[in-house]
């Protein structure tokens, strides 16, 4: 997945497991940026009686770097509190939940949102902010969009926030990809002669939900010196975005009570910037370490970007399909730019999202690029500069973009002597947003209404 269960340790701790990060200039509020960090992967909609919720013992953060050093200049922190109205029932709800203060909703969450600046200034933007319930089903949550709308809170100065369940918007064919790198649309070309015909992709995330931390804030709140403007080449136009989750450093479990006690500062256990970075590029033995580090320390992982294991596997698994890629031995300057430094000016006419020489995995967004009137899910490689890897919109096909980039499609941008293989321009896992049942929204928080547990999985 993008970052679902991407490392050994965090795969055992789903409440703190970041799955996707999105950052884009809001199409319906162009003086703002929308930041979304998703957690708790692969939620079956019928996950009762203990439906999914954020961790009271987890510090969730969305970070912004606006000076290119791979360290946060602005951080938004989410801290949750779970409330139980009646501990003497096993039920999540005892009747329909029609409002967020419904007495029928037995187990609910609120949160505190805090903005922290790198100098240490900390501002609480909201306390006691209500989360929506999970989408239980038509009897329990008969009007989910109304509940979700109630859970969009204004938190001053043009900000909005939402924290709660949404439909999984990421689409990927994991079942084929992790079966020895099979891509169904090209499976007849695979080294293993098991398939004779191509097949359409199968969305592994179909009808699943996630928990989203969604925030819409003015551009001037994120950029260096509060900059805003239309000059794409201004170095202040690009911000780096990533999310982290932390747990307290020490924990003691009480025997015989079901209680525990925690102490010490929060220690980072999960991190996510660019999709698939830790999942596909970082080797197994270093994934947990990567999750514990800031982007500023990513130089040590740059060799895995410069010589990605997956590029070598493509040559092995699809014999003769990528001859030019197979013959290329130099470091992958295109991937280093896309993922670790941003794309310098002059590589793509009229575009840059370069943040400097510091190699740091961050989702880089040039906020001077306006939202596209005709978005292309392949983003920048398809000429749509408002899409990934210039930030990431909820519908961007990041799997196909990164597959094609690793296969060499973007290499000719920085090495004019290289000719991409024909397959690099068509390789895909065969999925698009049409494979989602619940569509994206055109308003905040943009991810679709979560799938309800009565109808999903569909019979």
Partner 1 sequence: MSIDAAVPESDAPSGVSRRGLIRNTAGVGAAGLAAGVLLSAGAGPAQAAEVHTAEPAANEHAPAHTETLIVHVLDARTGELEIHHGKAHRTVYDRKLTSALLHAAG
Binding site for partner 1 (CB under 8 A): 56, 81-87, 248-252, 254, 256-259, 261-267, 294
CA atoms within 13 A on the CB side of 417: 5
Q: Provide, rounded to whole angstroms, the least separation between the CB of residue 103 and partner 1.
A: 10
Helix, strand, or coil (residue 300): helix
Rounded distance between C-alpha atoms, residue 239 and residue 142, angstroms: 40
Instruction: State which residue, 80 or 395, has the beta carbon closest to partner 1.
Output: 80
Residue 96 vs residues 29, 130, 140, 244, 368: alpha-carbon distances, Å? 34, 17, 4, 35, 45
CA atoms within 13 A on the CB side of 238: 27
Tokens 């919720």 belong to residue: 53
Instruction: State which residue, 139 or 267, has the beta carbon closest to partner 1.
Output: 267
Helices then strands, counting H and E runs in the chain, come out as: 9, 12
Instruction: State which residue, 38 or 106, has the beta carbon closest to partner 1.
Output: 106
Instruction: State which residue, 193 or 265, has the beta carbon closest to partner 1.
Output: 265
Rounded distance between C-alpha atoms, residue 179 and residue 205, angstroms: 16
Which among 367, 456, 434 has a CA at the least distance from the CA of 169? 434
Rg of the chain over Cα atoms, rounded to whole angstroms, equals: 22
Rounded distance between C-alpha atoms, residue 39 and residue 20, angstroms: 7
Residue 4 vs residues 45, 128, 279, 299, 420: alpha-carbon distances, Å? 17, 29, 8, 23, 30
Instruction: State which residue, 82 or 419, has the beta carbon closest to partner 1.
Output: 82
Q: Provide, rounded to whole angstroms, the least separation between the CB of residue 104 and partner 1.
A: 13
Residue 166 vs residues 57, 135, 228, 239, 450: alpha-carbon distances, Å? 21, 9, 31, 26, 4
Instruction: State which residue, 127 or 261, has the beta carbon closest to partner 1.
Output: 261
Q: Provide, rounded to whole angstroms, the least separation between the CB of residue 269 and partner 1.
A: 13
Q: Provide, rounded to whole angstroms, the least separation between the CB of residue 65 and partner 1.
A: 14
Instruction: State which residue, 67 or 415, has the beta carbon closest to partner 1.
Output: 67
Residue partners of 2: CB distance under 8 A and separation at least 6: 19, 20, 170, 172, 272, 275, 276, 279, 398
Instruction: State which residue, 95 or 264, has the beta carbon closest to partner 1.
Output: 264
Instruction: State which residue, 85 or 455, has the beta carbon closest to partner 1.
Output: 85
Q: Provide, rounded to whole angstroms, the least separation between the CB of residue 210 and partner 1.
A: 22
Q: Provide, rounded to whole angstroms, the least separation between the CB of residue 56 and partner 1.
A: 6
> Could you tell me if 160 and 154 are in contact, meaning their C-beta atoms sit under 8 angstroms apart?
yes
> Could you tell me if 17 and 5 are in contact, meaning their C-beta atoms sit under 8 angstroms apart?
yes
List phi, psi (to 5°) of 30: -70, -10
Q: Provide, rounded to whole angstroms, the least separation between the CB of residue 266 and partner 1.
A: 7
Q: Provide, rounded to whole angstroms, the least separation between the CB of residue 439 and partner 1.
A: 35
Q: Provide, rounded to whole angstroms, the least separation between the CB of residue 74 and partner 1.
A: 15
């Amino acid at each position: 997945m993008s970052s679902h269960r991407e490392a050994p340790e965090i795969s055992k701790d789903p409440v703190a497991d970041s799955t996707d990060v999105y950052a884009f200039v809001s199409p319906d509020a162009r003086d703002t940026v929308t930041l979304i960090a998703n957690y708790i992967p692969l939620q079956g909609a019928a996950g009762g009686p203990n439906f999914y919720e954020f961790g009271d013992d987890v510090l969730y953060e969305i970070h912004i770097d606006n000076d290119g050093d791979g360290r946060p200049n602005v951080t938004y922190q989410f801290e949750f509190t779970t409330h139980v109205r009646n501990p003497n029932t096993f039920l999540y709800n005892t009747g329909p939940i029609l409002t967020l203060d419904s007495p029928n909703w037995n187990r609910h969450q609120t949160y505190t949102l805090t903005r922290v600046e790198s100098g240490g200034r900390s501002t609480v933007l909201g306390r006691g902010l209500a989360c929506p319930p999970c989408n239980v089903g038509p009897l329990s949550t008969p009007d989910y969009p109304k509940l979700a709308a109630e859970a969009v809170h204004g938190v001053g100065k043009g900000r909005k926030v939402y924290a709660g369940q949404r439909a999984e918007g990421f689409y990927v064919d994991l079942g084929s990809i992790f079966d020895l790198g099979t891509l169904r649309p090209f499976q007849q070309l695979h080294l293993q002669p098991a398939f004779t015909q191509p097949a359409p992709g199968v969305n592994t995330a179909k009808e699943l939900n996630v928990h989203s931390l969604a925030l819409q804030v003015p551009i001037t709140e994120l950029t260096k010196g509060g900059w805003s403007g239309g000059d794409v080449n201004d170095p202040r136009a690009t911000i780096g975005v990533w999310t982290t989750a932390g747990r307290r450093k020490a924990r003691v479990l009480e025997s015989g009570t079901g209680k525990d006690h925690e102490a010490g500062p929060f220690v980072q256990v999960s991190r996510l910037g660019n999709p698939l970075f830790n999942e596909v590029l970082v080797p197994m033995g270093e994934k947990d370490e990567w999750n514990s580090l800031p982007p500023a320390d990513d130089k040590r992982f740059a060799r895995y970007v410069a010589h990605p294991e997956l590029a070598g596997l493509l040559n092995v698994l699809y014999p003769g399909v990528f001859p030019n890629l197979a013959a290329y031995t130099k470091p992958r300057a295109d991937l280093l730019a896309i993922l670790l430094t941003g794309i310098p000016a002059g590589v793509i006419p009229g575009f840059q999202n370069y943040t400097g020489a510091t190699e740091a995995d961050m989702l880089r967004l040039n906020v001077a690029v306006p939202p596209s009137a005709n978005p292309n899910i392949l983003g920048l490689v398809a000429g749509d500069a408002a899409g990934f890897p210039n930030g990431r919109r909820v519908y961007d096909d990041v799997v196909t973009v990164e597959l094609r980039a690793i296969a060499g499609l973007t290499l000719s941008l920085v090495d004019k002597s290289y000719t991409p293989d024909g397959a690099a321009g068509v390789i895909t896992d065969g999925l698009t947003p049409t494979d989602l049942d619940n569509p994206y929204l055109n308003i905040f928080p943009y991810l679709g209404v979560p799938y309800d547990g009565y109808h999903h999985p569909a019979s």
